[in-house]
Every structure is written in structure tokens, then in C-alpha cells.
Amino acid sequence: MSDIIMQKFEHVLIFKTSIEDSNCKHKVARVLDQLGTIETWSVDLSDEDYVLRVVSPTLSSDDIMELVHGCGFECEILS
């Protein structure tokens, strides 16, 4: 794989959350959408782990977990 593609993968952070519906997702969106350091993010509401994917070249997993916890939801690294 090219270095550019590998760098992109390094910036994808994946979490198991308790963001279980669109209302919960909206609460998190108000925080994540304000950050200029997130390229894109999504939550899979159909997955039993409510998987959150974040693409950010600067934020760490700890940063994302702190932000999601601050919104009142569980968030842990999905391994």
C-alpha cells in the first residue's frame, strides 16, 4: 500500500459506544461537528456495538473517548 493510504488508516479511530439511536447521535454531533480537527465521523446504529469511526490526523483515542463521555455516553476502543 502507498504511504498516503497507510497514513489515512493511522488516523481512523474505532470505538464501541452506547450511542444507540439518532437522538444520542445528535447529542454527540453537536460536539464532534464543532471540532475542526475531525475530517469525518460516523456511528453505525445498526451494529450491536454502535461503532463510532472517527478520522482525525491530530486527535487521540483518549481525546475522542473523553469527548463522548462528556456527552454522557460510554466509549471504549474497539479491538
Look up residue 72 and give its DSSP letter. Answer: T
What DSSP assignment string belongs to 4-70? HHHHHHHTEEEEEE---SHHHHHHHHHHHTT-TT-SEEEEETTSTT-EEEEE-SS--HHHHHHHHHH
pLDDT of residue 79: 79
Q: What is the CATH number of domain 3-77?
A: 3.30.70.100
pLDDT of residue 10: 62
Q: pTM value?
A: 0.86
pLDDT of residue 77: 98
3 state DSSP class of 3: helix
pLDDT of residue 49: 98
pLDDT tens, the chain, 79 aa long: 454 444 455 689 999 999 999 999 999 999 999 999 999 999 999 999 999 999 999 999 999 999 999 999 999 999 7
The three cell numbers locating residue 69 = 463521555
